[in-house]
Amino acid sequence: MTRLSRRRLVLATALGAALGGCGFRLRGAIDMAFSSAYVDGSPHSTLLNRLRRDLRANNVNVTEDAKTSQVVIRPLEILKERDILSLNADGKAREYRLYYTLKYAVDASDGTTLRLPDQIRIRREITFNDSQVLAKEQEENLLYRDMEDDLVRQLMRRLATLRLDAPATGTR
């Protein structure tokens, strides 16, 4: 083994030990209390398709019929919004705040409510420039796509806390 190869081996070993020691690990599958789910809603919704894909990636069978699944995920409202955050000297929008909201509920296949209606709301800020309209439009679309991913990840973490033997109680 050459001197350079040994250095690389020692450096790679040290880096691996440092990452392992700090608690870093690749994101693996999430353990769900259910093995099958039905996602109510349009098959054309990109958000719901991402949710279906992530459920499958975490070993959950996504069914085509609510009666054959253990849980039913019901999106109550999916909403994209854009508010003006600040104006320039000419009175034109200079910054926007983007919102992406998902209101949802989760039921068992027998109709028992497992998660009362809840919502996840993500927001991002974006600057706007009249001379870069197309670039800013693409940036906004990328931000919405990133927000979709964030919404799905948060929903997956919430779904991981479900217990099939404990129906939801109380009000939210």
What's the predicted TM-score (pTM) here? 0.76
Residue 73's pLDDT is 96
Give domain limits for the chain. 30-160
- Which among 74, 72, 50 is positioned nearest to 147, based on CA atoms? 50
Strands, E assignment, the chain: 36-39, 61-62, 71-87, 93-108, 113-127
- Which among 24, 39, 46 is positioned nearest to 147, based on CA atoms? 46
CA angle 165, 169, 170 (to 5 degrees): 165
CB atoms < 10 A from the CB of 100, how many? 22
Which fold would CATH assign to domain 30-160? Double Stranded RNA Binding Domain (3.30.160)
Q: What is the pLDDT of residues 6-47, one digit of tens each?
A: 777 777 777 777 766 666 555 567 888 899 999 999 999 999
Strands, E assignment, 109-160: 113-127
Contact 30, 156 (CB under 8 A): yes
DSSP SS3 for 61: strand
For the chain, the average pLDDT equals 85
CB atoms < 10 A from the CB of 134, how many? 7
| pLDDT confidence band for 52 (50 / 70 / 90) | very high
Contact 50, 149 (CB under 8 A): yes
Give the whole-angstrom CA distance, residue 112 versus residue 164.
9
Mean pLDDT, range 68-79, rounded to an integer? 95
**Residue 29 vs residue 62, higher pLDDT:** 62
